[in-house]
Amino acid sequence: MASREDFGSWLEGGTSAGQGSSPVERLGLPSSGPGSPAPLTRRIVALLVDWAAAMLISYLVADANSLATLGIFALENLLLVSTVGFTIGHRLLRLQVRVLGAPAGTPVGLVRGAVRVVLLCLVIPAVVWGPDGRGLHDRGAGTVIVRR
């Protein structure tokens, strides 16, 4: 008779590939040090730094219009992540957005960057994450935020 453990959980992605390994190891990333997934606290602080920068620019340019703030935040994320792999907040907290499975230094690119920023600005995909610690915005774009 088969048991539930034989099939695994749909949340865990089954048991076929990488059985016995952690979700981080299945991503092909080290569990600690440079190149390892960034902790949630550092990602949140980086997000707050980026939002504060967008608010400041919005205040100076558009009299603190909330839609302008969101647009500036989105533009900052799109341009910086797509080209250099990090935002101002990521840079200050020593984080980087990388394409999952690609060699370090591979640019994220405009298409992945656009998918990531649209999902990030929708908020819900950014606050829902899987066992590997990646939000739905990173999963949708095929990216991961790592320590530098």
Of 130, 121, 74, 70, residue with least CA distance to 100: 130
| Confidence grade of residue 43 (pLDDT, cut at 50, 70, 90) | very high
| Confidence grade of residue 24 (pLDDT, cut at 50, 70, 90) | low
**Rounded to the nearest 5°, which phi and psi values hold at 147?**
-75, 145
The full set of domain ranges for the chain reads 28-147
Query: What integer pLDDT is reported at residue 30 of this predicted model?
Result: 78
Query: What integer pLDDT is reported at residue 7 of this predicted model?
Result: 43
pLDDT at residue 20 greater than cutoff 80: no
pTM of the shown model: 0.79
pLDDT at residue 134 greater than cutoff 80: yes
Give the residue-averaged pLDDT of 65-80: 93
| Confidence grade of residue 16 (pLDDT, cut at 50, 70, 90) | very low
**What is 90-131 written as a DSSP string?**
HHHTTEEEEETTSPTT----HHHHHHHHHHHHTSHHHH-B-T
